[in-house]
Amino acid sequence: MYETLTLGNGIRIIHYRVKSDVAHCCMLMNTGTRDESERQLGMAHFTEHMLFKGTGKRKAYHLLNRMESVGGEVDAYTTKEETCVSSSFLVEFYERAVELLNDVVFNSVFPQREIEKECDVIVDEINTYKDNPSENIFDEFESEMFAGHPLGHNILGTKKSISKFRTDDFMEFVGSKYNTDQMVFCSIGDIDFRRLVRICEKHLGQNAVSLRGFERLPFTNSVKFDKVVKKKGMQANTIIGNYCYSYSDAKRVPMFLLSNVLAGPGMNSRLNMQLREHHGLSYNIESNFTTYQDTGLFSIFFSSDHEKVDFAIDMIFSELDNFCKKKMGVLQLSKAKKQLIGQVAIECSSYANMLFPTAKSFLNYGKAETFKETVALIEAITAEDIMEVANEIFVRDKFSTIKYL
């Protein structure tokens, strides 16, 4: 059972008590790449890197050593809409972890010398992605789909943009975008909630109230494109996709199921069976459904021989058309639900894996669903729901394409 509380400064706490020697916690901020201005391209991700480069009372080494010296771990990530810092540790070090996360989020000083060093690290990260077509194509696809909008910003930024960042730029970004009313502290571990609240009040609760003073630019301008990029390589990489549902749209649930049936992680997915097992067209095919605050993105990625790309695309749309024209049978739908429920159950069997989805759910919806509640949502999906979303999303004339040939 989840327990929740909101501190006086607006930071929300959600805790799930479990019996384990290891605990996990994170600070999730409702701030990501889409919150950057044009002169801040890459700032959200760069800030995540810089959070562990020095605070008012600790240097970089001391920050990293704080948890690692007792066998713990610290980590962080940035997406289009959020930034997260986290720690995993032995239960006895709960307060140490909370204090550290508070220190890096609220007291980082962003030394210019560290900024210049970290810039080289991120440039190397950018180059790594550019050297990997199967990774880079996803960034380019999103940049094209959301062209002219902050959602189209590459999370890493550009070499030119990040080279201009200075200490004051980071202080300004954090001061205006890291708002206490847009933060969630999530904890999964064996600690009494009242004790955890006292620890959070002691550290997180001492920070001044910072209310969000801006609204995100809504995404309204959809585009359609077919782009071919010449690349050196033995394989072609292709993405096709269309806009989809936001994280507040109820249709996102049947869409997740449909995406999983098409080309989820299971080897028995429809497209994997058709393209790989039956026709030997592709070693790797996957579908992805990403939700944002006001929109979403559905895409299918596959790699293949150059001369087989168009045939593979036709086969994919043939399979998509099947969902538009024919309802899933009772047995088919039952099997699809069982598979998705099993995948969710396996994910929930790891407390570390539960941490981020729990924090994100609480941030976006003000609650975190239990496994039973998630199962109920999946079980409630009907064949009519699947057919409805298929006919709304799987419109070939609205799909965009990028081919790396």
pLDDT score of 52: 95
Q: Tell me the pairing of strands 2-6 and 183-189.
A: unpaired
- In terms of C-beta density within 10 A (0-12 exposed, 13-18 middle, 19 or more buried), how is residue 57 classed? exposed
> Crossing angle, helix 383-393 and helix 309-325, to 10 degrees?
140
Amino acid found at 182: Q
Among 384, 382, 269, 267, smallest CA distance to 316 is for 269
pLDDT score of 231: 87
pLDDT score of 286: 96
The count of C-alpha atoms lying within 13 angstroms of the C-alpha of 65, restricted to the half-sphere facing its C-beta, is 6
- In terms of C-beta density within 10 A (0-12 exposed, 13-18 middle, 19 or more buried), how is residue 174 classed? buried
Domains of the chain (ranges, CATH numbers): 2-206 (3.30.830.10), 226-404 (3.30.830.10)
Q: How would you classify residue 362: left for phi > 0, otherwise alpha for psi between -120 and 50, otherwise beta?
A: alpha
Amino acid found at 335: K
- Helix or strand (DSSP H, E) at 311: helix 309-325
pTM here?
Answer: 0.94
pLDDT score of 279: 87
DSSP characters over 212-274:
----PPPP------EEEE---SSSEEEEEEEEE--TT-TTHHHHHHHHHHHHSSSTT-HHIII
Distance (Å, rounded) from C-alpha 182 to C-alpha 216? 13
Please list the ranges in the chain whose pLDDT falls under 70.
none
pLDDT score of 130: 86
pLDDT score of 328: 95
Q: Which residue has the tokens 């690349």?
A: 231
Q: Which residues pair with 5 in a beta bridge?
A: 13
